[in-house]
Amino acid sequence: MSTTTALAAHHAPRPGLIRRQRKERMAWIVRGVLMSLLALLFLVPFAWMVSSSLKQNLDIFEIPLRWIPNPLVWDNYADVWTGERSMLRYFSNSTVVVVATIVGELAVVSLAGYAFGQLRFKGQNALFLAFLATSMVPAQLLLVPRFMFFRQIGLYDTLWALILPGLASVFATFLLRQHFASAPRELGEAARIDGAGEGRIFWSIYLPMARPALAALAILIFDSTWNDYESALIMITDEAKYTVPLGLTRFMSEDGTVSMGPAMAGSVSSLIPVLVIFLIFQRHFLRSMARVGLR
Amino acid sequence: MTPLIEDTAKPGRAGTDSHDGSAPPSATTKRSSRLVNGYKWWIPWVFLLPTIVAVLAFLIVPLTAGLFIAFTEWNVVSGIGGIRWVGFGNFQELFQDDMFWSSAVRTLFYAGVGTPLAVTCGMFLGLALNRPMPARGVIRAIFFLPSLVNVIAAGTVWLTLLNPRSGMVNQFLRAVGLDNPPGWFTSQQWALPAIVLMSVWVSAGYVAILIIAALQDLPTELYESAKLDGAGTIRQFTTITFPGLVPVLTFLLITSFIGRSQGFGLIQFMTSGGPGDATTVLSYYMYEVGFHWYRFGYAASIGVMSMLAVLALSIALFKLQRGRGLYT
């Protein structure tokens, strides 16, 4: 009986259907409008950042506040990008750290991911579990010993102190292991019978198959390394080696006075590379974020 | 580890099975047990070597050292030779240190209020953004933007937005008739809530993206049969959607809680723990003890204590959601 009523509802007279479609369309628009308004609210800090970066220092604190700067000044950007404390230097330091971390971490981690995912050896599962367990170690507890460690081996206050810890990424190893494990084992076995070496099998058969995972990881490493402030704060004292976030703090005060204009211009500049990568790889970015969940 | 990593369960299990399964066939002769699947036993270890070295150098050794230092008195000036074993001395001092306890309470507030708030907001945001609407991709991206911002840029903007006199937030509050808006970062009472609010802005979009991914994994048949049975929107949410989201929510709660209780960069930059001690959370206190006062032993003991607390809370949270039988 209930099926007949359900069927009857489906074959409802036309006007009802049209009304429902119209209602659904209205809801579609209303949702869009509401969420756009909320999204605008989320954008306010960004808009304010850009607006302030084009203002004279005093105008930033002007009451009532003004969205369109008058006069419109580009001096803040000029200040930040030229001269002794220059964004140029911070950008090049950060680029070195980011590129080296991506290359180094992907190389180390894909080797291990391959061994865990494709190869078979004694104690494999136990070792893998031990690996996962080390990811529970809190960054906080590592702070002091890492500082001492890098001082001891003479790499304190060098960019190496920011690059090297990335090589020990349990999380990235875990992620790649999943990808290598889902690749067919037969390919490697066939290649082995044909006499290919193990390095060759890894390099020309399995590594190319992991390309999407490697790309996703590269994006995540870029984001977290570019934005990393805390490691730089602990490890770097020489201003010539400042990375972008650490360099930004230098623009806040000049001669003891708070100078928000340059700080804002620097902040906008620091966001541009991340935004560019995000816009280019948006789908990829969000998917890898969602899949990975960490960081 | 997380349900969001697509092929965690399957290949993981398949891997184990084929490992157990492939050993006997390849062990047709005694000698071949040394050659698993046709390569020498040491080959996998060559692939693993860089990672093993890196994990030892940058995780295991520092961890062991950190645990050791927690039982010593040591400042950087006296060098390695100046390390003095004090047993549980640091921990005894900690228990009598008012600053430690008040920092712990503030951490509990910051992480304990901020995390559920951010995850709840993010969950509703994700639910809303999962429904059809115009320009959905763009809107989703906008909400995600704050999680791409470094702490200094975010901190700089929010310092001006929450400026008690000229800041946009208080100008708005005055415009809607609030005569005495909060002083935010200049007020002992409001500084920590201000940071909590800011952290919600930072992480809500990130939470939403993970929620959307999880929602798309939920089986649509369940909703169809629920609709046929006459279940309304709320009923569908409580019986299908929410239980389906519990694993992600737990994951988010645990990881964001850990993240919030460890990060000190934002606080270091924006308030330096102040005004007064209003924003001195444990992670910042530890940073201060270690890198301003150079009491590394004492700093490490704070690290050990907060590690134990976070570990206990994470386990409790995990057990709690398991006990409910929502996630198996």
DSSP B85-134: E-TTHHHHHHHH-HHHHHHHHHHHHHHHHHHHHHHHHHHHHHHHHHS--T
Q: Summarize pLDDT for B228-238 with one digit per residue, the tens.
A: 888 888 888 88
Mean pLDDT of B37-57: 88
- Which of left, alpha, beta for B95 (phi over 0: left; psi -120 to 50: alpha)? alpha
Q: Which helix (H) or strand (E) holds A258?
A: strand A257-258
Q: Measuring CA to CA, which residue among A241, A261, A239 is closest to residue A250?
A: A239
Any A CB within 8 A of B139 CB: yes
For residue B308, what pLDDT is reported? 87
Mean pLDDT of A234-244: 93
pLDDT in tens, A26-76: 889 999 999 999 999 999 999 999 999 998 877 887 777 888 887 888 888
- As a whole number of angstroms, the distance between CA A157 and CA A255 comes to 25
Apex B97 CA angle, B92 and B103, nearest 5:
125
More confident: A292 or B141: B141
Chain A to chain B, count of Cβ pairs less than 8 Å apart?
A: 309
Contacting B residues, span 199-228, partner chain A, CB-CB under 8 Å: 201, 205-206, 209-210, 212-213, 228
Q: Phi and psi of B68, rounded to 5°?
A: -70, -50
Share of chain B above pLDDT 90, in %: 40
Compute the distance between CA of residue A270 and CA of residue A289 in angstroms, rounded to an integer: 21
The H or E element spanning position A101 is helix A87-117
pLDDT tens, residue by residue, A184-230: 988 888 888 888 888 899 999 999 998 888 988 898 899 999 999 99
The torsion angles phi and psi of A258, rounded to 5 degrees, stand at -70, 125
**Is B210 in Cβ contact with A290 (below 8 Å)?**
yes
pLDDT in tens, A261-289: 889 999 999 999 999 998 888 877 777 77
CB interface of B with A, residues 151-180, below 8 Å: 151-154, 156-158, 160-161, 163, 165-166, 168, 171
In this prediction, residues A8-23 reach a mean pLDDT of: 70
- In the structure encoding, which two tokens stand for residue A145, read together? 């010993």
Nearest CB neighbour to B209, from listed A32, A144, A286: A286
Does the CB of B9 have a partner CB in chain A at under 8 Å? no
pTM of the predicted structure, to 2 decimals: 0.85
Residue B154 CB contacts under 8 Å (≥ 6 apart), including other chains: A45, B146, B198, B202, B266
* Domains, in order of start, for chain A: 2-75 (no CATH), 76-294 (1.10.3720.10)
Written as one letter, the residue type at B28 is: T
pLDDT of res. A57: 79
Q: How far A236 CA lies from chain B's nearest CA (Å)? A: 13
Instruction: Please tell me which of the candidates B63, B228, B258 has its beta carbon nearest to residue A141.
Output: B63
> Which residues 6+ apart lie within 8 Å of B86 measured at CB?
B71, B72, B73, B297
Closest CA to A244 of A77, A93, A99: A93
Average pLDDT estimate for B306-311 = 83
Is the confidence at residue A101, as pLDDT, over 90?
A: yes
CA distance A147 to A184: 43
A244, pLDDT greater than 50: yes
DSSP symbol at B239: I
Q: Would you say B48 and A111 are in contact if contact means Cβ atoms under 8 Å apart?
A: yes
Residue B17's pLDDT band, with cuts at 50, 70 and 90, is: very low
Q: Cβ–Cβ contacts within 10 Å for residue B239, how many?
A: 13
Q: Which residues in chain A are closer than 8 Å to B157, comparing Cβ atoms?
A: 45-46, 48-49, 52, 264, 267
Torsion of Cα atoms, A76 then A81 then A86 then A88, to 10°: 150
B7: pLDDT confidence band, cut at 50, 70 and 90? very low
Q: How far is CA B123 from CA A255, B100, B316, in A?
A: 45, 33, 22
